[in-house]
Amino acid sequence: MHLENATLGDIAERLRELLEADRGRSSADALLESAATWERLGMVADSARVWVAAEIDAESRRELGADGLAYRHGFPTGKKLLASTANVSERTAASRMQLGRQIRSHLSNTGLPCPSRFPAVEEAFFAGQIGADTASVICRALTDIASRTTFTSALDEAERHLVGVATASMPTTGAPGGTTETDPDGDTAGGCSGTAPRLYTVEEIARLAIRIREHLDPDGAEPRDAAKQHLRGFSYPRIGSDGMARGRYALPPLQLGILLAAIDPILSPRTADPTPADPTQANPAPPDSGPDSEPTSSDDADPAGTPDDRPSQTSKLRPAVSSASLDERTYEQKLLDALMTLIEQAAGSPSASLLNGAAPTVNVHVAAIDLEAGRGVGWIDGSSEPIPVSTVAMLQCTGDTIVSIFGTHGEILSHGKTHRVATRKQRRALAARDGGCVFPGCHHPPSRCQAHHVIPWVSTIFEPGATDVDNMALLCAFHHSVIHSSAWRLTMIHGSPHITPPSWVDPRRTPRPAGRRRTAEPW
């Protein structure tokens, strides 16, 4: 690797010229071939960068003192020297040095050879057969195993097996026929002409390494699980200067599995809008992945054929409404909303823990004049940051919130709202009528919806709108907020909820039947 800098510069310039020429190729097949070729070159570059990082690290070790390479150039550590010289982050420099320490073979100060801790990884990596990500994953897994078993012949065999699987997954160019497939479990399948080799991602190799660890670890998983249970925790959120509460949590595998199993149904693709707003995009290409992806198989369709799932004359008479275009939440925001839905459901459960004989309740304070005017703020116990009146109005619909309304002299005009909470019988009636969230395109079931009062608390005598089925409709938490804070409106016509879009959706603002009642007649 000790090439003249001019030679390396010439190679880099030639590669830049090849890249410029390659960027002009537009066919899909050419792109795939380029991806494999450039990745092979990247592996060679990775091996060179890790080698340089390892040497700088060795020449800058602390025991060398003032004679160390980093110290002589005015840097306290080799990591900072490499980051400055190569113009990379210290994190990148540290990761290269870490990998280099694990696979570097060298001569000691006395001239004795010091072999690599992982010679098979070293050989494959510096031969450009595996990339830095794969090498790091294998070394990290093997180091974890060695901490429990020491370096044994079984560990050497595990290293060779992992490297063999990784090198079989090396990107290649040209036709894949006539190859041999290496299975990560140790089986070898003879490749036939035209059969592509089985390629394993870095993540799959990491999972294979975990399986090997479980096989070799004499203590089994019990001590590790006990350690994870000891580290579990939840830090109480702290409110920052911006009014946002931030906390941290650490979940062991079992608790994480329970959380994901509970959240995944709420983030199901069925909660997205299957009807595109543009009729010309009736069959859009499905996204690659993620919680917003739509099912493409007819098996995923609702066999009942509800009005939301099938075309009707109604959809031909009025412009399509896409709730997906309204839902601009990030994935992280959707995760939090899903978690809050679970917490609200648990808090409202009959089996919820009681405080002084009462179910978990949020206390909200608001001035009557602000609530009646529809502007101003309210306050929640436990938070120093106010909330808008529109949020207070939304909270009046929920059963786990007590809204205290104060007059101009500080007197309490109303405390609590037991008459504003839908009974179980009313919720069953709402579920039968609405079928879930009534917002167009939303598929949240009744169990994840709130009973919204269509006629809000606006009376001058501070009496709530009637808590009757004819004055309520089911909305999920997100669309409940949309109704209270946007131009979308809900009205009741002949005892059935109708939604009125804003003018940018429908200039005429025509009320449209809402809900998924199967007996509804199209108009």
**What value does the mean pLDDT take over residues 455-477?**
66
pLDDT, position 354? 60
Q: Are 341 and 367 in a shared domain?
A: no
Mean pLDDT, rounded, for 329-341:
86
Residue 182 in any domain: the answer is: yes
pLDDT at res. 397: 67
Higher pLDDT, residue 399 or 374: 374
User: In a 3-state reduction of DSSP, which class is residue 215?
Assistant: helix
Asked if residue 146 is part of any domain, the answer here is: yes
How does residue 114 score in pLDDT terms, banded at 50, 70 and 90?
Answer: confident
Residue 322 lies in a domain: no
pLDDT surpasses 70 at 262: yes
What local confidence, expressed as pLDDT, does residue 412 receive? 60
In this predicted structure, which of 15-24, 278-287, 401-410, 438-447 has the lowest mean pLDDT?
278-287
Are 393 and 430 contained in the same domain?
yes
Q: Are residues 336 and 418 in the same domain?
A: no
| 297 lies in some domain | no
For residues 314-342, give the mean pLDDT.
65
pLDDT at residue 142 above 70?
Answer: yes
Task: Give the percent of the chain with pLDDT over 90.
Answer: 12
- Ranking 116-120, 189-193, 497-501, 514-518 by mean pLDDT, the lowest is 189-193
- Average of per-residue pLDDT across 55-60: 92
Q: What pLDDT is stored for residue 186 in this prediction? A: 46
pLDDT at residue 493 tops 90: no
Same domain, yes or no: 100 and 132: yes
Question: 70 near 78, Cβ under 8 Å?
Answer: yes
* Beta pairing partners, 387: 378
pLDDT tens digits, one per residue of 8-57:
778 888 888 888 777 766 567 777 777 878 888 888 889 899 999 999 99
Q: Which of 83, 63, 51 is nearest to 73 (CA)?
A: 83
Residue 97 lies in a domain: yes
- Residues 65 and 154 reside in one and the same domain: yes
Q: Same domain for 143 and 263?
A: no
Same-domain pairing of 505 and 370: yes
Q: How many domains does the chain have?
A: 3
pLDDT of residue 374: 76
The residue out of 297, 316, 346 marking a domain boundary is: 346
- Average pLDDT for 138-156: 85
Residues 6 or more apart whose CB falls under 8 angstroms from that of 332 comprise none
Tell whether 428 and 373 lie within a shared domain: yes
Lowest-pLDDT choice from 81-85, 127-131, 293-297: 293-297
Would you say residue 521 lies in a domain?
Answer: no
| Whether pLDDT at 287 is above 50 | no
For the four alpha carbons of 42, 44, 47 and 49, in that order, the dihedral sign comes to negative
- Please indicate, yes or no, if residue 73 is contained in any of the structural domains: yes
pLDDT higher than threshold 50 for residue 271 = no
Q: Which residues contact 162 (CB under 8 A, 6 or more apart)?
A: 138, 141, 142, 205, 208, 209, 212
| H-type alpha helices, 299-380 | 313-317, 331-347, 368-373
What is the structure's pLDDT at 53? 93
Please report the pLDDT score of residue 358 as a whole number: 56
Q: How many CA atoms lie within 13 A of 438 on its CB side?
A: 33
Q: Are 76 and 210 in a shared domain? A: yes
pLDDT at residue 51, as a whole number: 92
Distance CA 235, CA 272 (A): 33
Residue 10: which domain range?
5-188+196-222
3-state secondary structure of 492: strand
Contact 369, 429 (CB under 8 A): no
pLDDT at 422: 67
Of the given ranges (235-239, 313-317, 449-453), which has the lowest mean pLDDT? 313-317
Predicted local distance difference test score (pLDDT) of residue 3: 53
Residue 459: what pLDDT? Answer: 45
The three-state (H, E, C) secondary structure of 397-449, written as one string? CCCCEEEEEECCCCCEEEECCHHHCCCHHHHHHHHHHHCCCCCCCCCCCHHHE
Please state, in angstroms and rounded to a whole number, the distance separating the CA atoms of residues 399 and 417: 8
Residue 395 vs residue 263, higher pLDDT: 263
Confidence of residue 197 (pLDDT cuts 50, 70, 90): low
CA distance 153 to 158: 9
Task: Find out whether 148 and 142 touch, Cβ atoms under 8 Å.
Answer: no
Share of the chain above pLDDT 70, in %: 69
Chain mean pLDDT for the chain = 74
pLDDT of residue 326: 59
What value does the mean pLDDT take over residues 370-386?
79
Identity of residue 325: S
Q: How far apart are CA 481 and CA 242, in angstroms?
A: 21
The verdict on 339 and 433 lying in the same domain is no
**pLDDT value of residue 300:** 39
Rounded to the nearest 10°, the torsion over CA 265, 266, 269, 274 is: 130
Q: Would you say residue 83 lies in a domain?
A: yes
Q: Are residues 48 and 117 in the same domain?
A: yes
Q: Do both 110 and 166 map to the same domain?
A: yes
Domain boundary among 292, 313, 346: 346
Strands 401-406 and 362-367: parallel
- The Cα–Cα gap between 516 and 215 comes to 53
